[in-house]
Chain A
């Protein structure tokens, strides 16, 4: 029930009004804690972020000293300097999302549809999907550094197959960063798609076959459209955190052609103490993601997710 309808019921009059007022009070009691939490930990910080993004340095003050202002130039300055990094972040996140979808969909399909009815197998496979979360995100990312290191098996094999030039390496490349992003966010792709496919009625597939659709056609015309809500949820859960990620870019990239916007915000805030620029970049990132996600959900025809 939305807040609007809660308010509607609160102000309505007539013979049933007292009962409604009581009900509306219980609505507020139920909504209250979440609302307080959101206001304190979301609305207030976002307001502070917006305000900070417009601050100016204190004249004659130390580094890191700013005062309130409405200096919109901060945005122009931040974007003109960092738009290539911003663009690269979205690009890396997009490639990682597509890769996670290509890898994750078959996994989810295998667990949900192929292993259907074999509860033990399904459970074990799901544990395998989630198992990486049992160890630290940082540790796993560092492990990828070793997997892709110059003396690693992967690089040796690629050299031997002549797929990688003799002097080329994998670490500190966009490839390594995208690999890390894909790997780290893969479970967020697999789980929603699994949940969607799990609900898929096997009789739908039989109906498809019965109506002259070969297996591949049944997949295209029945399975895929019915799994779209899961796919949309999965792609969002991978894309949104991937855009703002800086751990993979730092540990697996750390090169001028791998810098992501998260690294810039981190550096501006903690190293350069340039709070307004960091805040302006954060606001732009947030707005851009919201815009993209809205357009994406509209296009995918899954408005019920909004």
Chain B
């Protein structure tokens, strides 16, 4: 693919100045009685791959449409590349969108679709730029086809090329992989990431798929009810969620209510969870007194069988009863019912092959205090746990 490399280089050179930052300041959007976006502020650094993650109706698509100029905010300002563009219309903004439905023009060839934005801007060397754009998505050989003659994955890439060739300050992706099947989606995730790295443009990707957001983005903002719950790198969000919604929406979490009883001299908080003393590093707790939700990710938990004892730096809960064992190849997932605390999920890597215990076994749960986190006790422990995989 030498041609791809050439095309990409040309795009990169031209893009160095245009990958400008997006700044959303105190933006709200109200539809009738419904507050879609609620006083949202957000800064996207230049050249980053940014994901807006949240369930449907959380305001992420509305936010994207306001950046594109397809909706106007009820209040607040939107600046792109340092210029306040609030109130300008979509065609006046240096922003392009890859629509969820692709929205390719059915009456134009693939090449003409890609050339559309360039023609409107009166750019020169349109043929060369279109060829470069199609090279980048590896569809140069289909330039003369009509969109209807392409597969879903190919249409998706045409939509991407059509947006990319304009070298927008911000490229918006509205659930662009939602219509693809799982295998193709995984492949396109890697490809999108490769293209973003090659062209160096700022990508803002809206999705409800947490795995997609974590795979591709350098920064993820988790949205809920029109607000940003938490923003950070995928690892930060996963290892240290600050709300129950984030803890449950990004991966799975075991959350149990407790009360802070003591601050130790070693920078740990001692939390009373149903009579058991659990240690949480102070920096990993949202509050340092009162009611909290103590959380730990399932893969951090260890099952202790029989006389096995935890190490001195580990927290311990239980005993409980194993209610379910499911073998998934790489790991085994256990459900452990602890009386008075509820069900805990435990993921154990199959290092030694097979599962360690059978359903009905009595076990205790141990995990390193360093991996414990604590959230505000007012959060609902099950917030964000709904299965959202089947939403559009």
Q: Which residues of A are interface residues toward B (Cβ below 8 A)?
A: 201, 203-204, 206-215, 217-218, 221-222, 225-226
Contact = CB atoms under 8 A, between A and B. Distances in A.
Interface of B: 68-70, 89-91, 95-97, 99, 101, 103-107, 116-117, 120-121, 162-163, 166
B99 A211 contact: no
A214 B105 CA distance: 16
Contacts of A215: 91
Contacts of B90: 206, 209-210
Given A221-B116, A226-B106, A209 B99 contact: no
A213 B103 contact: no
Given A206-B70, A206-B99, A221-B116, A211 B162 contact: yes
Nearest to A222: B105
A210 B95 contact: yes
Most buried by B among A201, A204, A212, A218: A212
Given A206-B70, A210-B70, 16 more contacts: A204-B105, A206-B90, A206-B99, A207-B99, A207-B103, A207-B104, A208-B91, A209-B69, A210-B95, A211-B91, A211-B120, A211-B162, A212-B121, A217-B91, A226-B105, A226-B107
Contacts of A204: 103, 105
A204 B159 CA distance: 12
B106 A212 contact: no
A301 to B, nearest CB: 10
Nearest to B90: A209
A242 B114 CA distance: 42
A214 to B, nearest CB: 5
Given A210-B96, A213-B120, A203 B106 contact: no
A38 to B, nearest CB: 33
B201 to A, nearest CB: 15
B267 to A, nearest CB: 51
A255 B112 CA distance: 53
B162 to A, nearest CB: 7
A211 B122 CA distance: 12
A209 B91 contact: yes
A203 B103 CA distance: 6
Nearest to B101: A203
Contacts of B95: 210
B68 A210 contact: yes
B103 A206 contact: yes
A118 to B, nearest CB: 15
Given A212-B120, A217-B120, A221-B116, A207 B105 contact: yes
A211 B70 contact: no
A217 B90 CA distance: 13
Contact of A225 (B97, B99, B103, B107): B107
Contacts of B101: 201, 203
Given A204-B105, A207-B99, A222-B105, A212 B166 contact: yes
Given A206-B70, A226-B106, A214 B91 contact: yes
A201 B103 contact: yes
Most buried by B among A201, A207, A215, A221: A207
A218 B90 CA distance: 12
Contact of B117 (A203, A211, A225, A226): A211
Nearest to A228: B107
Contacts of B89: 209
Contacts of B91: 208-215, 217-218
A213 B96 CA distance: 12
A250 B121 CA distance: 54
A212 B88 CA distance: 12
5 contacts: A204-B105, A207-B103, A209-B89, A210-B69, A211-B96
A211 B166 contact: yes
A222 to B, nearest CB: 6
A299 to B, nearest CB: 16
A109 to B, nearest CB: 17
A225 B91 CA distance: 20
A226 B108 CA distance: 10
A201 B100 CA distance: 13
B146 to A, nearest CB: 13
Contacts of B107: 225-226
Contacts of B120: 211-213, 217
Contacts of B97: 206-207, 210
